[in-house]
Amino acid sequence: MNIDDKLTDLKGIGPKRAEALGRLGLFSMRDLLFYSPRDHYDLREAKKIDSLTHGEYAIVAINEIDKPKVAYPSINGRRTPLVSVTVADDTGRLRCSWFNQPYIRTAIPENPGGYVHGHVDLSRGKVMVNGSFCPAPPGMLPVYPLTKGMGQASMRSCVKTVLSCLTDSGLETLPDKVRSKHSLCRLSYALENLHFPISPEALAIAKRRLSFENTLYFTILLESLKERALHTEGISLETEGAAEAFVSLLPFKPTSGQYRIMEEISRDMASHLPMNRLIQGDVGSGKTALAFYAMYVAARNGRQAALMAPTAILAEQHYEKLRKLFGDKAVLLTGSMKKAEQRAVLEAIKSGGVSYIVGTHSLIEGGVEFNDLGIVITDEQHRFGVRQRAVLGSKAQSPDVLIMSATPIPRTLSLILYGDLDVSKLTELPHGRRPVATRYVPPDKRSDMYRYIEKQIKERGIQAFVVCPMIEDNEDVPLACSAESVFKELTEKLDVKIELIHGRMKPDKRDEIMKRFRDGEIDLLVSTTVIEVGVDVPNACIMAVEATERFGLAQLHQLRGRVGRSDKESYCFLLSESRSDSVLERIKTLVTSNNGFEIAEKDLLTRGPGELLGQRQHGESQFIDALALSDMDTLNEARNAAVELLKSDLPEEKAFVREVLNRYSHQLENIAIN
């Protein structure tokens, strides 16, 4: 079979499984092979029952086993089956339980021998939740990001099906010389051990190979883009006196960092080459004012400026601020507007009657025709597919491009991810802003914390967020708090106005809830990470994060930036039942530092680049996903190797570079910024 064959061509992957895999962006064998597990459970050896720790996923030997029991506790007025069985080894006894899974009784062995593995919960005695039985330790089990209708067992089965079809013939992509020079394993070995490693060492070898190769290709493609940009004629704009004139319009004084980046923007926009600049800065550091300055320079030169935001609520916030500065020359375009309003806005854009255009993905749709587009700005870069940015940039002849991101990325990683961009860092907070005080809240203080939040809302008139790692309870992660369960709990316990928001809601409903929260009609908002982007509520002064161990360090810092957006005292409370040293160390990092770049550097050193990159979106370049697999040493080695290959005059190395460009030329449109 061919690696690019459809998953539906494989035996064992029927319509339902294929539909669930499709929701994850997985359609071909290649998609699934390169879909990285987020973790592995090391189940090569059984643990003793008396050594189990709370929250871990473990396997224990069954020396004794009792008869299973079925209880029917009343949940929300309904009798729900709870199956349990007690097992034992030579150190103690362990109760295994399955909630609302009556069919599990048929899988419980009658006699001792064999093993059981699952999540350990020590908060109610020694309990293993949703365990699985097996005759022998299964080795290292992959744990994948999932979607509704696809459990871990089903995903592992699908991956094994694809791996069984693999052969070395025609699969290898790197020349033997390159593999040998950099001590890299074969691709077939890498893919097998990425998913089902025979040991932690084999997993490291696999990750290194995949990360090296993709960084090599990615760097070659980025250098190709950079070379192309050097031969592209851009728009040279007049910037003399623009900064002084713009600052005179502002109701505040810019920071020294904002002045510095305004100078960099001025130089870029005055150049005959197209601007390709990324501005990185913590949430609330003042990136938006810099975007408005770039728009002002374009409009001052008689050109239009387009700002694309990831959510309608954020686009509306930008529009309101632009209206205060520039009046009727600013216009808003979103998909939720009435047709008559949209037509009027589209005509104003086409005729050149407006200069400052703000919108969501509506700006890249076919019906938008710009009169004379001079600059394209995308807000919250990590929320946009690179293809979307490229489409917006294609609506004009080589416009300047400015990208803003609130995800701090260390310089070493920026060189790899943004090799074709100039990077500006904004590290200061605007005048009058206070750092957010961050506190760890142990499980026994959770109720007291929520009473404190209730009191603060009533006495200070402030608002608060509660962030949860998932929408609903999930049997694969039984110890994590879901937004739905926390919302139900707090609605019953607290005497404040509470609302729930999450990613499965329709965009119009989410926007309506966010608008009510911003307008002060909601006191406390229970949410998933959907609020990570596009919320500017100065009155929101407290955030509580449930199950902190389920979030990445960089993501937690990003979430924390949603409070402390005024001169009011603000707090972020981090809750976790985990007793893991690594989790407590990460919490300590957030408690002691508010500097996003320091946090990102620490995260990079301790957990690798995957924490900062997150998951790829279907339709984007797959390179980003593979970059997250390994350590910075490997990424830097691969980048240096790519630079050497590009400079080489050896015929075989020049041929390899040409082959990479030919093989992945279609990816250029996916990673193109301009």
Q: Residues with Cβ < 8 Å from 172, sequence gap 6 or more?
A: 186, 187, 188
The CA distance from 389 to 362, in Å, is: 12
Cα(613)–Cα(625) distance, rounded to whole angstroms? 8
- In whole angstroms, give the CA distance from residue 565 to residue 572: 13
Confidence of residue 674 (pLDDT cuts 50, 70, 90): very low
Answer yes or no: are the C-beta atoms of 334 and 360 closer than 8 Å.
Answer: yes
Q: How confident is the model at residue 239 (pLDDT cuts 50, 70, 90)?
A: very high
Query: In which residue ranges of the chain is CATH 3.40.50.300 found?
Result: 248-426, 437-593
Question: Where is pLDDT greater, at 570 or 273?
Answer: 570
pLDDT given for residue 605 in this prediction? 61
pLDDT of residue 672: 46
Asked whether 359 and 332 are in contact (CB, 8 A), the reply is yes
Q: What is the CA radius of gyration of the chain?
A: 27
Q: For residue range 609-663, what is the model confidence (pLDDT) as tens digits? A: 554 444 343 334 455 555 555 567 787 888 888 888 888 898 888 888 998 888 7
Burial bucket for residue 123 (CB in 10 Å: 0-12, 13-18, 19+): exposed
Q: Tell me: pLDDT of 275 over 60.
A: yes
Give the pLDDT score at 475.
Answer: 52
Q: Which residues are 41's β-sheet partners? A: 141
Tokens of 71: 């209880």
CATH number of 45-136: 2.40.50.140
The CATH superfamily holding the domain 437-593 is: P-loop containing nucleotide triphosphate hydrolases (3.40.50.300)
Average pLDDT over residues 484-494: 94
Domain with CATH 2.40.50.140 in the chain: 45-136
Compute the distance between CA of residue 417 and CA of residue 215 in angstroms, rounded to an integer. Answer: 9
Of the candidates 150, 247, 142, the one whose C-alpha atom is nearest the C-alpha of residue 195 is 142
Query: Across the strands, what pairs with 482?
Result: 470
Above pLDDT 90, what percent of the chain?
48
Residue where the block lists tokens 């070395």? 168
Q: Which of 1-5, 71-75, 197-201, 523-527 has the lowest mean pLDDT?
A: 1-5
pLDDT of residue 177: 84
Residues 615, 625: contact at Cβ < 8 Å? yes
The answer to whether residue 162 scores a pLDDT higher than 50 is yes
Per-residue pLDDT at 93 exceeds 90? yes
Residues 93-112 as b or e (16 or more Cβ within 10 Å = b): ebbbbbbeeeebeeebeeee
The residue with tokens 């993905």 is 361
| Cα separation, 336 vs 476, whole angstroms | 36
Cα→Cα distances 122→49, 54, 306, 577, 579, Å: 11, 5, 54, 10, 11
Contact in structure between 192 and 37 (CB atoms under 8 Å): no
Find, among 592, 41, 541, 512, the residue nearest to 313 by Cα.
Answer: 512
Please name which of 413, 402, 384, 388 lies closest in space to residue 554, comparing C-alpha atoms.
413
Which DSSP state fits 216? H
Instruction: Report the alpha-carbon distance of residue 25 to residue 9 in Å, rounded.
Output: 17
User: Which ranges of 230-338 would DSSP assign to H, the alpha helix?
Assistant: 242-247, 256-270, 287-300, 312-326
pLDDT tens column, 192-222: 999 999 999 999 999 899 889 888 888 888 7
Of the ranges 19-23, 410-414, 543-547, 640-644, which one carries the lowest mean pLDDT score?
410-414
What value does the mean pLDDT take over residues 413-432? 73
Pairing type for strands 115-121 and 57-61 reads: antiparallel
Q: What is the mean pLDDT of the chain?
A: 85
Buried b (16+ CB within 10 A) or exposed e, 376-405: bbbbbbbbbbbbbbbbbbeebebbbbbbbb
pLDDT of residue 305: 96
What pLDDT shows up at residue 613? 45
Tens-place pLDDT, residues 428-456? 777 767 889 999 999 899 999 999 999 99
Q: Are 226 and 271 in contact (CB under 8 A)?
A: no
Residue count (the chain): 674
> β-strands 276-281, 57-61: how paired?
unpaired
Q: The domain 248-426 belongs to what CATH superfamily?
A: P-loop containing nucleotide triphosphate hydrolases (3.40.50.300)
Residue 476: its pLDDT value, please?
A: 52
In angstroms, the CA 643 to CA 647 distance is 6
Nearest to 331 by CA among 365, 340, 341: 341
CA-CA distance, 105 to 101, in Å (whole number)? 8
